[in-house]
Structure 1
Amino acid sequence: MVALQSTEKIQQIRQRLQTAQIRQNSYADLRRSELDFQVGDIVLLKASPWKGVIRFRKQEKLGPRYIVPFRVIARIGKVAYKLDLLEELSQIHNTFHVSELRKSILDEKAVMSLHDIQVDERLNYVERPAVMLERKVKVLWNKYVALVKLQWEHWR
């Protein structure tokens, strides 16, 4: 009779553990997403887990979480990808797990041509307005504020 009660208790414990596992999996699955990249996609590489993060221009406190976008060269298995790394990162192996990567969404409008950049004699970037798009006057309690919307030279 004692052995019968202990087996019932063990079954009850197993059932409760399984219920708890299913519940925790359902919570974890809400945050998970399946990442799948194709050859030629642009991805960001996570920089945080490496000891040599200084290579990736880490500052004192606020280092980058992800570094420069790289192109996927090949898929290795189901969860590994080979990236086209820069020459300065040649000492790092170029195959990474999918958890170390994030899809990069490049905005073509935000990309500037290097030939269009003008630098003055003190090596400062010079930005000039090209066209005034809109002009408004905002009325506050006791004063007027002029607002101007500009189109800059090198921005689309």
Structure 2
Amino acid sequence: MRFKKKGKLAPCFIRPFEILDHVGAVAYRLALPTALAGIHNVFHISMLKKYTPDESHIVSWEQIELTDNASYTDEPIRILDHKEHVLRTKTIPLVKVLWTYHGKEEVTWEREAEVRKMCPHLFSDTPQGVA
């Protein structure tokens, strides 16, 4: 994954960076740290978000371990909830997952079988797999 699913930093906003200058009518050059040197520092205005001072919005980029191609692996930390999605002919067990570099606002519902295969240690504590 390269900062989520699409493009450079969209849709996950890492932290506020200083705008150095305008590049054309709708592009900005940002002051990125050396840890993000593999990412091009010019962004279209649609990829930027107005900064509102709130500490819960910021993910500390010092804690993210980037690979050579400026990607990182996001792993489940904890199972928060469990439910079953009922279709016409089958039932799909789902778990609510808290991920490594994301807050509680960004938890996702994932298939229990996939999470169990990826991280079986999350299910060993409780009988239903709910932490």
**Over alpha carbons, which structure has the higher Rg?**
1
The structure with more helix, counted as a fraction of residues: 1
Fold conserved between structures, TM > 0.5: no
- Normalising by structure 1, what TM-score? 0.36
